[in-house]
Amino acid sequence: MKSTGPMIGFFDSGVGGTSIWNAAQRLLPGADTLYLADSAHAPYGLLPLDALVRRTEVLTEFLLAQGATLIVVACNTATTNAIAHLRARYPVSFVGIEPAIKPAVVHTQSQVIGVLATRGTISSGLFHSRIQAYGSGYTLVIQHGDGLVEQIEQGQLMGQEVRTLLSRYLSPMVEQGVDTLVLGCTHYPFLIPVIESLFPGVFQIIDPSDAVARQILHLWSHESMHEKGHAVFLTNGSLEVMRSFAPKAAEVRTSADF
């Protein structure tokens, strides 16, 4: 399976990082890609820090062994807790994703910003440094999204449990005047339709996927791409769920190798 040419590797705690893959694909349709869905260890937000860092090492080493020349950490929790370690340890470029506090302060009118993220992201030093750097003078309402990743990993994007959880987490934000909502987990963009159905016209939703894709494009200097790149998606979780998030033309398989 090892790539014979330049290849972009992606990893996430599950299928959520496909939101980043989709955005990157729009800018780099000719790039070969390998996506790892570590669904067996989801959600990362509940893992002890040492276990989380070890998972990122395992996934990085697997991608490098398959020939990845650029690695996208398509997970907020992994980025905020481990990307500095990965950059120091491995001789490859990494692109990460973190809660988009900076663009949120540009867009808010009420000066009250909501952040929906995992506990692992919320507790990270990088997350708090971004708040200190960009959030001064604004009110931030920070809410964990316990249970949402698990529902998405089961392919439940519009079910009653998801609606109940989102109502519980976001209704207090409405009461506190939040007008701009930062989605601090790559799984959460798949919930935008149900968020908008529950709270029509309330939130301007900040999804940083396109900004991450532009950074991937900036670092990807290979000109010898195909007209259409070969995409492989591997999961250690549900093959059916992975197929529902991967493009139809992609090669999708289960794997116990990571």
pLDDT given at position 221 = 76
Active site residue 75: yes
pLDDT given at position 227 = 75
Tell me the pLDDT tens digit for each residue of 191-245.
999 999 999 999 999 999 999 999 999 999 765 566 789 999 999 999 999 999 9
Q: Does residue 1 lie in a domain region? A: no
Domain that holds residue 68: 7-97+210-254
Give the CA count within 13 Å in the CB-facing half-sphere of 8: 31
Alpha-carbon gap, residue 116 to 181, rounded angstroms? 7
Tell me, yes or no, whether 92 and 215 share the same domain: yes
Tell me, yes or no, whether 169 and 230 share the same domain: no
**Cis before 43 (ω within 30):** yes
Here the CATH number for the domain that contains residue 126 is 3.40.50.1860
Q: Number of structural domains, the chain? A: 2
Active site residue 216: no
Alpha-carbon gap, residue 187 to 14, rounded angstroms? 8
Tell me the pLDDT tens digit for each residue of 158-189.
999 999 999 999 999 999 999 999 999 999 99
8, 75, 101, 162: the active-site residue: 75
86, 185, 191, 216: the active-site residue: 185
Prediction pTM value: 0.93
Tell me the pLDDT tens digit for each residue of 81-105.
999 999 999 999 999 999 999 999 9
Percent of the chain exceeding pLDDT 70 equals 97
Kindly give the residue spans of alpha helices, DSSP state H, lying in 108-231.
119-122, 125-134, 148-153, 160-175, 192-198, 209-219
